[in-house]
Structure 1
Amino acid sequence: MYRMMVADFDSPSYFVATAAVKLGFFKEQGLDVEFVAEYGAKHGPERLREGYIHFFGGPAFAATRAFPAWKGVKLVAALAQHSYWFMGIRKDIDIRRGDIKALKGLRISTSFAFPCTALRHMLTQAGLDLSREEVRIVESLPSKSESHSLDGVRALRENLADCFWGNGMRLALAEKAGIAKLHLDLRRGDGPPDARHYNFAALTMTDALIEKEPEVAAAAVRAIVATQKALKADPKLAKKVGDELFPGDEAEMIPILVGRDAPFYDATITPIAVDGLNKFAMANGLLDRPLAYEQIAARQFEHIWRS
C-alpha cells in the first residue's frame, strides 16, 4: 500500500493527484494508493521524508522544507502548468484588476508558508515595501475546515482583511458569496512579468523510492497523465471526487474550476518552468545557486509526460 497527500485537497491544481487516486487511475496502473485527506501544507514534506507517504502533490518548491535544495527528492510530473495562486479583493474596493501598487495600505490574508512565500515575493517584485508595512499580511488565519476553502470568505466577512491570497476554490466561493472579485490571477498573466513562473503544481517522490522501485514511479506518472486527459475530456468527473471529499458548495464548484483550469493540465516539466523555479527559490533563500534541470526534475519520465 502506498499513500498520497496533497498540500490542499480542494485546489484545482493539486486536484489532479487527488482524482488520480479517487477515480481509480493509480489502480489501473497496478498501484494500490491511499489518499490521506489531511491539509498537507502543514506537514506533507515531512511525512514524505519520514516515509509515511510516498507521493506528495503540492507546490514544486514545497519539498525543500524537508529536503533542502531538493536533495533526496525529484519532481516526477507537473500536475498543472504555471503559478496558480489568486488574489481576491473586497467587492466594494474600487481599484483596477492587476494593479498591485494600488494594494498599498490594505490587509491581505493568507495561510501557511507556501502561498505566503509567493505573496511576499510578488509584492516585493511589484515595488511594495513590506518592511514599512505598505501592505499588511495577515498570516495563519485560524480555519474551521481541514480544506481551508472558506478562509477567504471569513477574512472578508469578519473584517480580518481587505483581500485574500489563495487557491481557485477560495476565490470562487468568495465570488459566489458576492463579497469578492478577482484582482490577480498569476497563471493567466497578472502580476510581475515572471510571476507565472514562480511555481507550478507537481508530484514529488523521494530519490530512494524512484531508484528502488522505478516501475512504481513510472506507473504513478502514467496515472497522472491519464487523469489529466480524463479531466480535460470530461471535467464533470471531478464531481464524483467532490461529493466524497467536500461539502455541498465545493462539490458543486469543483467541476467548474477543473473545466476552467483543464487547459493547464499537462505533466511536462519544461526547462522554462525549472528556470523560474530556480529564480524563485534563490530569491527566497531556498537555494544559494541554481540547480541543473536533472537535479530537480526526473527527466527519465519525459516520454510519459508527452505520451
Structure 2
Amino acid sequence: MTVSSKRFRIAVPDLISNSYFPAIAATELGKFRDQGLDADVQLIFPVSKAYEALRAGEVDCVAGSAHSALAAFPEWRGVKLLCAQGQGMYWFLVMRSDINPARGDVTVVRGRKIGAAPWVDLGLKQLLVAAGIDEARDNVTVAPVPNTGRPSVNFGLTAAKALEDRLIDGFWANGMGTEVAVLSGAGKVVLDIRRGDGPKECFNYTMASLAVTDDFLAQRPDDARRAVTAMKETHAALKKDVSLAAQVGQKVFPPREAALIATLIERDLPYYSTEITPDFVAAMNEFARRRGILKGDPGFSDVVATVGG
C-alpha cells in the first residue's frame, strides 16, 4: 500500500507517561514538522494492538517497547526498529506501602498480585526468573490491572489507582504511574531497572523505540531518516531546556501529570540517545527466546534499520 509522503501516524501504548514522551515531544515541539513530517499521535493499548495496527497499515510508526514488535511480526519479519527513544528497560516495580517493601528486595513479590500490561509483563516475568523467583512455587500472580481492558487506557495511572484501592499488591509500570503512587503514599519503589536495581541483565531486555515496517522503509526511506533526525533533535532540545517538557505536558496531559512531567524527564535525560547497539539487540533477542516469543537468532540488520539521520 502506498502511503502519503508527509503524513506520519504514530501509535503509543501509553500517552500520559514519560515512557514514550520523546515521540510526543517531537510532535508537539514541531521537530517532526521541521523534517517535513505531519505527525500525529494516537493512543492504542495494549502495545500488541499498536503493533497490529502497524502491520495493518493503520499507523506508520509505533513508539513503544522494542521487544513487543514480535507480537505482530514473528521472528522480526516485516518490521525494523528505527531508533531508540531512550536506553534501557524503563518500567518500575512498585509495591503497596503498607507491605513495607525494601528497595531492591525482589522477594517481596512472593504471595502477591502484581499488575502489569500485556507484553510489558514479560519483562517482569523474566526479571523474576533471573532473580530466582518462581511464579508457581512462590505464589506470584502477574496479571492485567483491573479496569485496563478497554481499547484505550493510560495504564500507569490506572495501576496507581488500583494500588491505592488495594485491588493489587504492586504494579510493574511506567514512571508517571510510579510517581503518582509514591506521592500519594500508596506505593514504594522496589525496582528501578534503569538506575541499577535488579539483575544487571534486565537493563537490555527492551527499550522504548520507534518501529516501522519494511514496506515503509522501502517506500519512504527519506522519511525514515527524517524521523530519526527529529528524535535526535528532540533529545537535544530537552537536554538543553527541560522546561520544554512542562510546556508539552500542559498541552497533552491533565494538570496533575503536567506538573510532574518535567521532573520525570529530567531524571530520564541521561538515557536519552537514539542509538541501538548490536549488544542490545543480542540481549533483547536472548530475552525474547527465554520468554518463548522468538525462536531464531536474527542479526542486527534483521532487527534495526540503517537509515542515518
Please indicate the TM-score interval, normalised by the length of the shorter structure.
Answer: over 0.9
Work out whether 1:151 is the aligned partner of 2:158: yes
1:1-307 counterparts in 2 under 5 A?
Answer: 1-39=7-45, 41=47, 43-111=49-117, 113-143=118-148, 146-301=153-308, 304=309
Deviation at 1:147, TM superposition (A): 1.7
AA paired with 2:224? Answer: A
Root-mean-square deviation over aligned CA pairs: 1.7
CA–CA distance in structure 2, aligned partners of residues 97 and 162 of structure 1: 15
Deviation at 1:69, TM superposition (A): 1.2
TM-score by length of 1: 0.93
TM-score by length of 2: 0.92
SS in 1 for 2:100: coil
AA paired with 2:196? Answer: G
| Unmatched segments (≥5 aa) in structure 2 | 1-6
Moved more, 123-132 or 76-85: 123-132
CA contact 2:163–2:186 (8 Å) conserved in 1: yes
Deviation at 1:288, TM superposition (A): 1.1
Deviation at 1:42, TM superposition (A): 5.5
AA paired with 2:119? Answer: F
AA paired with 1:25? Answer: K
CA contact 1:16–1:224 (8 Å) conserved in 2: yes
AA paired with 1:54? Answer: D
Deviation at 1:133, TM superposition (A): 4.9
CA–CA distance in structure 1, aligned partners of residues 255 and 51 of structure 2: 30
Deviation at 1:43, TM superposition (A): 1.5
CA contact 1:9–1:39 (8 Å) conserved in 2: no
SS in 2 for 1:134: coil
AA paired with 1:51? Answer: G
Q: Percent identity?
A: 38
Q: State the 4+ residue runs in structure 1 displaced beyond 4 angstroms.
A: none
AA paired with 2:253? Answer: F
CA–CA distance in structure 2, aligned partners of residues 169 and 30 of structure 1: 31
SS in 2 for 1:36: strand
SS in 2 for 1:114: coil
Deviations 1:104-144 (A, max 9, x none): 12221222x12111111111221112123521224242149
Deviation at 1:223, TM superposition (A): 0.5
CA–CA distance in structure 1, aligned partners of residues 210 and 276 of structure 2: 11
CA–CA distance in structure 2, aligned partners of residues 172 and 17 of structure 1: 21
Deviations 1:33-58 (A, max 9, x none): 12224435251101111111101100
SS in 2 for 1:105: coil
AA paired with 1:56? Answer: V
| Unmatched segments (≥5 aa) in structure 1 | none
CA contact 1:108–1:163 (8 Å) conserved in 2: yes
> Size of the alignment, in residue pairs?
301
Match of 2:3 in 1: none
